[in-house]
Each structure stands twice: as C-alpha cells, then as structure tokens.
C-alpha cells in the first residue's frame, strides 16, 4: 500500500521537485504537458509523469 502512495505525488510535492510555483504546475496540467488524475477533489500526479516532463524538456533543449 505504501508503494502506491509513493507513486502518486501531490501538487506541492511536484512544486518542490520541479522548483516551480503552484500556478506553473497547474498551467502544465491544464496544457496537458503534465499528466494528472483526480479522485474527488484530490489531484495527484504520477511520479513517472514528472520524470517524462523533465525528459521532454531536456529533449526540447537539445
């Protein structure tokens, strides 16, 4: 059960990992550049979605 919890990140956790503000993270979610899921009022971002976003940004910069 702890494995599933570790794979889904909250918006503040993503903000901390990416060093982005709250608005920027929600902009990425709205623009579909960062995948997220909602359950009720809870929004969660899969850890691999954050890694994919970083990988895509690196590829764009190259």
CATH, residue 44: 1.10.10
| Residue 4, pLDDT score | 53
- 5: pLDDT strictly greater than 80: no
- Give Cα separations from 35 to 21, 62 (angstroms): 17, 23
The parent domain of residue 36 ranges over: 2-61
Please give the structure tokens belonging to residue 44. 């969660």
| Residue 61, pLDDT score | 92
Are 18 and 9 in contact, with CB atoms under 8 Å apart? Answer: no
| Residue 62, pLDDT score | 86
pTM: 0.84
In tens, the pLDDT along 22-55 reads 999 999 999 999 999 999 999 999 999 999 999 9
Angle between helices 11-18 and 47-61 (to 10 degrees): 30
| H/E element, 33 | none
Return all residues near 53 (Cβ < 8 A) that are at least 6 apart.
18, 28, 33, 34
Work out how many domains the chain is built from and give that number.
Answer: 1
């Amino acid at each position: 059960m702890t494995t599933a919890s570790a794979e889904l990140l909250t918006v503040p956790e993503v903000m901390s990992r990416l060093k982005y503000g709250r608005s920027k993270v929600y902009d990425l979610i709205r623009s579909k550049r960062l995948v997220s899921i909602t359950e009720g009022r809870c929004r969660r971002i899969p850890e691999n979605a954050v890694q994919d976003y970083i990988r895509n940004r690196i590829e764009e910069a190259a």
